[in-house]
Amino acid sequence: MSSEKIPVEHLEDDDSVKRERQKCDDPETLFGTIAAGANKMVLLQEYLKYSEEILNLKVQSDDVWVISNPRSGTTWTEELVWLLSQNLDYNTAGSTALYKRFRFVEFYMFSKNEETLEEFGDIDTLIACPSPRLIKTHLDWDLLSRQLWTVKPKGLITAIHKVAGFLGVTLTTDEAATPAHHLDYSKMKKNDSVNLFSESVGKPIANPSGSSNFIRKGISQQWKTEMSQTLIKQFDEWSREHIEGTDFPIHRAC
């Protein structure tokens, strides 16, 4: 077991969270936030429930990990990796929710609903998965299992043929075309199995209002239409402040 302690800072509620707490019948159902790890990744405080278990998670050599930032094409990549590792089994892909096929390390921190947690699984569910395990996470590297550095499971490459080769799967030209069709955004948006549709709740767990799918538009730079100019300016200023003095080209970030 690792004796390493993750640096954690408990954050104060911002004004929007305070307003939600005032409106909520049971304010304690709203999670607080923390800044964890060397990069002070902002997470829900429920993360701490299994933080040690994640650090000490036993990594298997045939694990396939997709480690990414949120809203960066993770779901699309998961579906591609799953298809290639399961001999292009489109029937199961269309009938079984992606969260049951690809386990999300830190999903437990997003809900206190027992039925939802039982359906989506937690760390124990992940550990019990048969090999090869398909695992996704948005956590920073220093918050993940230390064994990722030594066991070195299979990771992530994006092009279909490269992913296939990386996973040891051989595809013909015709076979390579079928995942592209299945993964087309117009089809992904209509596929309940990849839109976090909860069978127990009967609606998308990520967006209970149903106003939009988890899979959004698939259009690059869509943030320009979603974010206000004020918010864009704040992001740009933050980026400049934190990139200055590094070798990362500022013009690429702002």
Sequence-distant (≥ 6) Cβ neighbours of residue 99 within 8 angstroms: 107, 120, 121, 196
Structure tokens at 147: 């064994």
Residue 111 is predicted with a pLDDT of: 78
In angstroms, rounded to a whole number, what is the distance separating the alpha carbons of residues 196 and 75? 10
In angstroms, rounded to a whole number, what is the distance separating the alpha carbons of residues 199 and 15? 34
The pTM score is 0.65
Residue 60 is predicted with a pLDDT of: 92
pLDDT (tens digit per residue) in 177-231: 677 677 776 777 777 777 766 665 555 555 555 555 666 666 667 778 878 888 8
Residue 158 is predicted with a pLDDT of: 39
Residue 98 is predicted with a pLDDT of: 92
Sequence-distant (≥ 6) Cβ neighbours of residue 34 within 8 angstroms: 8, 9, 10, 11, 42, 43, 44, 45, 47, 48
pLDDT (tens digit per residue) in 139-180: 998 899 988 877 766 654 335 667 778 778 887 767 766 776
Q: Is the peptide bond before 132 cis (omega within 30 degrees of 0)?
A: yes
